């Protein structure tokens, strides 16, 4: 049959891979948006379950810096944590609150957020290629009426692709420097960075920064 011939030629593999990637991006979106980004627990819970960041010594950081108590939720903030007024929680290794996810990006979901952006970018580029391949330009009003939806879809894909690409590039750059978006944007207002002799006391080289983040 025609379906079997297409399968033998491998023509069905591409749409199946595209559907799998699109479904994967949706599942990743749900996972990242619904999971705990690294909320700071109460002092009683912290004693029972200390995170690696609390126990890890950072030799470049000033020893005079003390953990401060959050003025909103009254928990002791570990270094690199910040209170998110939208989530009403302090988040460990706070990067930013993502309105796209309606959740914070922090210590626990940051690596998965990068994976989600990467998969989403592949889907968008693939979808943009498909939309572009379906456009055959003609200088006529009738052609425009029949292709207006495809043109608008392609333009929307281009806009979202540029936004995702810029976000992914900026995130990878910050990760390679072992800094967060919050620390990068508010360096002058953060006590442990303002009092440090180094501009970034957490930077241990690109390779080690990437290894510790993803592995």
The residues facing 83 across adjacent strands are 90
For the chain, what is the mean pLDDT? Answer: 83
List, for residues 115-150, the tens digit of each pLDDT value.
999 999 999 999 988 888 777 766 666 766 777 788
pLDDT at 43: 64
Residues of the chain with pLDDT > 70, as a percent, come to: 79
Measure Cα distances from 99 to 77, 110, 112 in Å.
Answer: 23, 15, 16
Say if CB 72 and CB 82 are below 8 A apart. no
Provide the pLDDT for residue 156.
Answer: 93
CB 72 within 8 A of CB 214: no
Q: What is the DSSP string of the chain?
A: -HHHHHHHHTTTHHHHHHHHHHHHHHHHHHHHHHS---BPPPHHHHHHS--HHHH---TTS-TT--PEEPTTT-PEEPTT-EEETTTTEEETT--EEETTTTEEE-TTTHHHHHHHHHHHHHHHHHHHHHHHHT----SSHHHHHHHHHHHHHHHHHHHHHHHHHHHHHHHHHHHHTT--HHHHHSGGG-HHHHS-SSS-TT---HHHHHHHHH-
Reported as a single tens digit per residue, the pLDDT across 15-70 is 889 999 999 999 999 999 999 999 998 764 555 455 444 444 444 444 555 567 88
Token couple for 21: 């990637």
Q: Is 10 left (phi over 0), alpha (psi -120 to 50) or beta?
A: left
With beta carbons less than 8 A apart as the criterion, state whether 168 and 118 touch.
yes
Beta carbons of 108 and 38 less than 8 angstroms apart: yes
Catalytic: which of 90, 98, 104, 215? 98
pTM value is: 0.81
Longest Cα–Cα distance of the chain, Å, equals 76
* Catalytic status, residue 98: yes
């Amino acid at each position: 049959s025609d379906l079997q011939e297409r399968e033998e030629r491998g023509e069905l593999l591409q749409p199946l891979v595209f559907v799998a990637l699109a479904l994967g991006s949706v599942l990743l979106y749900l996972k990242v948006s619904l999971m705990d980004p690294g909320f700071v627990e109460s002092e009683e819970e912290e004693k029972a379950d200390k995170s690696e960041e609390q126990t890890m010594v950072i030799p470049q950081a000033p020893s005079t810096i003390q953990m401060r108590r959050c003025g909103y939720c009254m928990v002791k903030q570990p270094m690199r944590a910040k209170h998110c007024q939208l989530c009403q929680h302090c988040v460990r290794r706070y990067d930013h609150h993502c309105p796209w996810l309606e959740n914070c990006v922090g210590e626990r979901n940051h690596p998965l957020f990068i994976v989600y952006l990467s998969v989403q970018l592949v889907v968008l580029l693939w979808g943009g290629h498909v939309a572009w391949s379906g456009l055959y330009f003609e200088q006529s009003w009738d052609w425009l009426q029949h292709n207006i939806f495809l043109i608008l879809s392609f333009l929307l894909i281009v806009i979202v692709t540029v936004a995702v690409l810029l976000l992914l590039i900026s995130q990878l750059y910050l990760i390679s420097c072992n800094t967060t978006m919050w620390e990068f944007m508010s360096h002058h207002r953060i006590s442990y960075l303002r009092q440090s002799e180094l501009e970034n006391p957490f930077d241990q080289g690109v390779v080690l920064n990437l290894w510790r983040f993803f592995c």
